[in-house]
Structure 1
Amino acid sequence: MPDAFFSSGKSKPQKRKRDVSSTKPSSSKPANGRVKRSRRDEELSDSGESDAGNIDDIDLRADDIDPGESGDEDTMETPAEKRLRLAKIVLEERRQELAGDDIDAAEIDKELLASRLKQDTLQHSGKISLFLAGKLDTSSPVTRYTRRQRLPVTAAVASDDGSILYTGSKDGSITKWSLQGATYLATYSKIPSLALPMTGKRKGKGRRVAGADVEGHIDEVLALAMSFDGRYLASGGRDRRILVWDVKEDKFVKAFEGHKDAITALSFRKNSLQLYSASLDRTIKLFDLGVMGYVETLFGHQDGASSLDTLYGENAVSSGMRDRTLRYWKIADETQLVFRGGGRSRLREVLEGGMEEASEGEENEEAPAGSRKRKGKEKEKSKSFMEGSIDCVAMLDESAFVSGGDSGSICLWFITKKKPVFTQSLAHGMHQHISESEGTIATPRWITALGAVRYGDLFASGSWDGVVRLWKVDIKARSFSALGEIPALGFVNSLQLVVPPRDTALTHTWGNTSESVTTVNGDSEGTPKFPPGRTRDEVLLVAAVAQEPRLGRWSRIHGNGEKNSALLVALPRGDMVLGARTS
């Protein structure tokens, strides 16, 4: 039993056990605080589970850092090492782009389209936009002649894409050639006069006349022109008819009548089916091949119109031969501007207000005898001949054009000036012939043909001195200068300069093969400038050369390699600069 010393007199009350489920929460402060803290902890834990991460997981670094790198490398990398690493990454990406063999065709198409649109926009502005004269290589051009024809070739014209060539001859035929190999394709033959029907009821009073249904020329072919899309060929000649041919099918389409004399020039308006014709009947006629109909006739020349040219706008320039005028036709306004050539006239100077010659004469009378002699010698050196006929004209842009005549001078004109702003006298030198009564007589070689790059700073001129001369135009200085020469024996009866599009660069075999190139005298020498299969950009020169002039037989040269054929010249060029001048 327990010891009484350690026992207590009072018995301790025993605590009653509470039922937790049945009792209410205590209202004491410590218990209440513990419950609130537990609830907050539960809410924080719930929100942490719903979020993707907490503040410690957010990456505050820049985007240019590689996310695959570890944090230890970032902490150990210095700023200099970081810049070096990023530079290496950029260089490696650039190296892979340059070394890649895959060609983005879509990107190339976009660049070609943008270049074509820019070129068209600049050309529609009416100003010179193709500055390519400084990029031409005229030192060793690749040349080729077509097969000889029986009678003189009067005209030669190539398509804008440089694939097809047509030549017209005094025998009344038109020959089709392929420019890829300078090979023969087809011939539009002359119609014999005996095959034509007779007109007139009485015997012996009728004559044979070619009607609109005669599918061919019956006399000399003097002019050719091709539409911009290469669909139609127009031809004209001494039979006073304009024939329209389908180029792709080599078929006769229609014949236009109305001119009363020989047709000397034809020209299609750029990017249009409007056709202009010039004739010795002193008129210019306009036709529309879209509807195959006649439009109107332009009057003004006092002599036969020998040459004609037109560009994008509804404008045309024609030369009037012996009336010594150039006429700039504004079709939409139904007006014309008259530019008079033929050198200076004292009466014209007085009428137009220019008295330079009179003042120069008075100064010469007052000057000492020695100075007058020196001035007389200078005048003899710079002697120019009076121009009696303006025979050819070529447009550079909508406001500038060049002309040539029997004085041997080439003149640069602007529509804002009544006189030429620049004149190159005796452009093809002098021709000497011996007279029994007067001895040796020197006369200037007249300009027989002119051809220009549309909206370009390059044009060519021809005569019978054995070369075709290339000229570079400086619009700012309003002048032009000699650029180069191309051998061409015989009379140059027509000239054309073609700049094929970049996406259809010329790939003719006579300029690309390893065979020797045929020279002017018919011999073979040298090797071609371009290796086989190489594509390059060129300016194609097409010239009709013959032993006789185009409009007559008053002169004939032969015996030194002169041919009746077409001369093809491929002039390699560098990058064309659009809208900017090149040195």
Structure 2
Amino acid sequence: MPRNTIKKTVKKIKKPKTMNSKQNNKQKIDDDESIDSEYLDELENQKPQNISDKSDSEIDETEDNRRLRLAKQILQQTKQELQSKKNDDFFQDHHDIHMNDEDKRLNVALLEKFAEKHTIYQSQIQKFDRQFNRETYKGHLRAITCTQVDEFAKHMYSCSKDSSIIKWDLETKKKEFIQREVGKHGDGHYDEVLTISLNFDGKILASAGKDHSIKLWDTTSNKLIETLKHHKAPIYGVKFGYNSNNLCSISCDRTFIQWDAAQRAYIDTFFGHSTEANDIDCFNADDFLSCGYDRQMIQWKTKSGGQLLYSGHQQSIDCIRAITLDTFATGSVDSNINLWNVKKRKPLFELNKPHGDRWITSLGTIYNSDLLISGSYDDNLNIYKVTNKDIIKVRSLQSFGIINHINVFGDKILTVESQEHRLGRWITSTKSKNIIVLYL
């Protein structure tokens, strides 16, 4: 396979790969942390001085619950400031030199999204027990490989093997080409685009594929920001951590690489897979999941450089999705879906052949919920209820072709129906027209 011969100096951020046990014992902050802990500690220290004793519930609360409580406190304070500012005559003619009202409203919206994603387990399955209508989007010439929807469900992004990337308006269905099919000497990708990911505020889109490079795009201007090069083989997955610009990528070169998208910089390379890695997802800002042809799943802790390995499938694992902070699901070429807990090396539950003898080509979920959706190429989109010990099939929706990707937002399902598998031509279908389908 030809290697990219274009070399570019990239700013490198030095970071220790591992920590010894003494340092780990001294570390007071969990690896799952996604809010600036110094700010949270400062906020907690702002409590009234006459409150000297903590309640039993505060003493026993976990670090995750503490961050959630403080995030809600920040949100409430911001709302109160906006309300007092609205009622204050002085602020009707003067604006905060550090942050205007619009910026604060955006902060409130982002904090609400954070609180929604990190609340304790919520049931979502009842939203999908209804009649669905199919709305289709067509614009790519070849198989569509991946889609992304922004936090506010205003825009959708899609990529394809025709090397194009399209930005869609979900209200008007109008499309804008971020990248059309280009030649080898263009600024964009010159080969198949296999994966895309949006950062937390929807302003940066990362794309990658067979040309071994990651492109960062400004979603406002649709212009290229930067090209990141470090992989030596096709890149099968990129993923932003929740609420951060921490970007991670997996590749056929068997590496897991961490990047800082805000600084446009390479951070570190990790090793773990013995063959190519196929898919990637995240638990939070710093903890990621990957799966591969080696039948292994790896949890990557990018802060400490640690990793946990899991195994249980008999063949290559094509897709992986985090369900809650400690559970995830995998779909494999062995036709099974497995449910996992991060504390156990073996699966909690194995759902045998929900699509018959066909591969599980994609999984979708609403994070921190009981919803799981699977796709294959048997003309069915399966919806499941997930408990802490099993996966229960609830219903099926009609689909066509090969389901290469599934996104779930609100009470809507976004799928990709393609004529061939996203990573190759091992399986093909003539039932699809290479379209995006929105179930609403």
TM-score tier after normalising by the smaller chain length: 0.7 to 0.9
Mark the CA change 1:115 to 1:131 in structure 2 (over 3 Å): closer, same or farther.
farther
Output the amino acid matched with 1:556: T
Report the Cα distance in structure 2 between the residues aligned to 1:479 and 1:313, rounded to whole angstroms. Answer: 27
Which of 113, 124, 132 is matched with 1:132 structurally? 124
| Secondary structure in structure 2 of the residue aligned to 1:295 | strand
1:523-542 alignment to 2 at 5 Å? 539-542=411-414
Report the Cα distance in structure 2 between the residues aligned to 1:114 and 1:457, rounded to whole angstroms. Answer: 26
CA shift digits 1:248-307 (9 cap, x unpaired): 111110000011111101111011011111111111111111211111111010010000
What is aligned with 1:483? 394
CA shift digits 1:459-486 (9 cap, x unpaired): 21110011211111112xx212112222
Q: Does the Cα contact within 8 Å between 1:138 and 1:485 map onto a contact in 2?
A: no
What is aligned with 1:285? 257
Which of 286, 292, 296 is matched with 1:325 structurally? 296
What is aligned with 2:18? none
Q: Does the Cα contact within 8 Å between 1:458 and 1:471 map onto a contact in 2?
A: yes
Q: Does the Cα contact within 8 Å between 2:283 and 2:289 map onto a contact in 1?
A: no
Give identity over the alignment, percent. 30
What is aligned with 1:164? 155
Mark the CA change 1:147 to 1:124 in structure 2 (over 3 Å): closer, same or farther.
closer
Greater gyration radius: 1
Q: Does the Cα contact within 8 Å between 2:200 and 2:244 map onto a contact in 1?
A: yes
CA shift digits 1:200-223 (9 cap, x unpaired): xxxxxxxxxxxxxx5200000100
What is aligned with 2:204? 232
Report the Cα distance in structure 2 between the residues aligned to 1:272 and 1:119, rounded to whole angstroms. Answer: 13
State the number of aligned residues: 339
Q: Does the Cα contact within 8 Å between 2:140 and 2:164 map onto a contact in 1?
A: no
Report the Cα distance in structure 1 between the residues aligned to 2:379 and 2:322, rounded to whole angstroms. Answer: 24
| Secondary structure in structure 2 of the residue aligned to 1:413 | strand
TM-score by length of 1: 0.55
Which of 212, 231, 247 is matched with 1:259 structurally? 231
Q: Does the Cα contact within 8 Å between 1:146 and 1:183 map onto a contact in 2?
A: no
TM superposition shift of 1:232: 0.7
Mark the CA change 1:116 to 1:225 in structure 2 (over 3 Å): closer, same or farther.
closer
CA shift digits 1:389-436 (9 cap, x unpaired): 11110001221100010111000000111110011000111xxxxxxx
| Secondary structure in structure 2 of the residue aligned to 1:136 | helix
TM superposition shift of 1:120: 4.0
Q: CA RMSD in A?
A: 2.3
Report the Cα distance in structure 2 between the residues aligned to 1:115 and 1:186, rounded to whole angstroms. Answer: 28
TM superposition shift of 1:136: 1.4
Q: Does the Cα contact within 8 Å between 1:324 and 1:388 map onto a contact in 2?
A: yes
CA shift digits 1:17-56 (9 cap, x unpaired): xxxxxxxxxxxxxxxxxxxxxxxxxxxxxxxxxxxxxxxx
Report the Cα distance in structure 2 between the residues aligned to 1:246 and 1:336, rounded to whole angstroms. Answer: 32
Between 466-475 and 136-145, the greater mean CA deviation after superposition: 136-145
What is aligned with 1:545? 417
Output the amino acid matched with 2:146: A
Report the Cα distance in structure 2 between the residues aligned to 1:139 and 1:129, rounded to whole angstroms. Answer: 22
> Which runs of 4 or more aligned residues in structure 1 lie more than 6 Å from their structure 2 counterparts after TM superposition?
112-119
Mark the CA change 1:130 to 1:184 in structure 2 (over 3 Å): closer, same or farther.
same
Q: Does the Cα contact within 8 Å between 1:148 and 1:565 map onto a contact in 2?
A: yes
Report the Cα distance in structure 1 between the residues aligned to 2:151 and 2:113, rounded to whole angstroms. Answer: 15
Structure 1 or 2: larger strand share? Answer: 2
Q: Does residue 268 of structure 1 match 2:240?
A: yes
Report the Cα distance in structure 1 between the residues aligned to 2:394 and 2:114, rounded to whole angstroms. Answer: 26
1:18-37 alignment to 2 at 5 Å? none
What is aligned with 1:471? 384
Report the Cα distance in structure 1 between the residues aligned to 2:162 and 2:113, rounded to whole angstroms. Answer: 40
Between 138-147 and 324-333, the greater mean CA deviation after superposition: 138-147
Report the Cα distance in structure 2 between the residues aligned to 1:465 and 1:220, rounded to whole angstroms. Answer: 25
Mark the CA change 1:115 to 1:480 in structure 2 (over 3 Å): closer, same or farther.
farther
Q: Structure 2, unaligned stretches of length 5 or more?
A: 1-81, 87-104
Which of 381, 389, 392 is matched with 2:316 structurally? 389
Q: Does the Cα contact within 8 Å between 2:246 and 2:286 map onto a contact in 1?
A: no
Mark the CA change 1:426 to 1:245 in structure 2 (over 3 Å): closer, same or farther.
same
Output the amino acid matched with 1:162: A
CA shift digits 1:303-359 (9 cap, x unpaired): 1000000132411110022x11101111222111110123xxxxxxxxxxxxxxxxx
TM-score by length of 2: 0.73
Greater RCO between the two (CA within 8 Å, min separation 6)? 1
Q: Does residue 401 of structure 1 match 2:328?
A: yes
Output the amino acid matched with 2:419: Q
Q: Does the Cα contact within 8 Å between 2:118 and 2:368 map onto a contact in 1?
A: no
Output the amino acid matched with 2:168: W
Q: Does residue 190 of structure 1 match 2:181?
A: yes
1:419-568 alignment to 2 at 5 Å? 419-429=346-356, 444-475=357-388, 478-499=389-410, 539-558=411-430, 560=431, 562-568=432-438
What is aligned with 1:67? none
Report the Cα distance in structure 2 between the residues aligned to 1:290 and 1:232, rounded to whole angstroms. Answer: 9
Q: Does the Cα contact within 8 Å between 2:213 and 2:231 map onto a contact in 1?
A: yes
TM superposition shift of 1:494: 1.0
1:405-416 alignment to 2 at 5 Å? 405-416=332-343
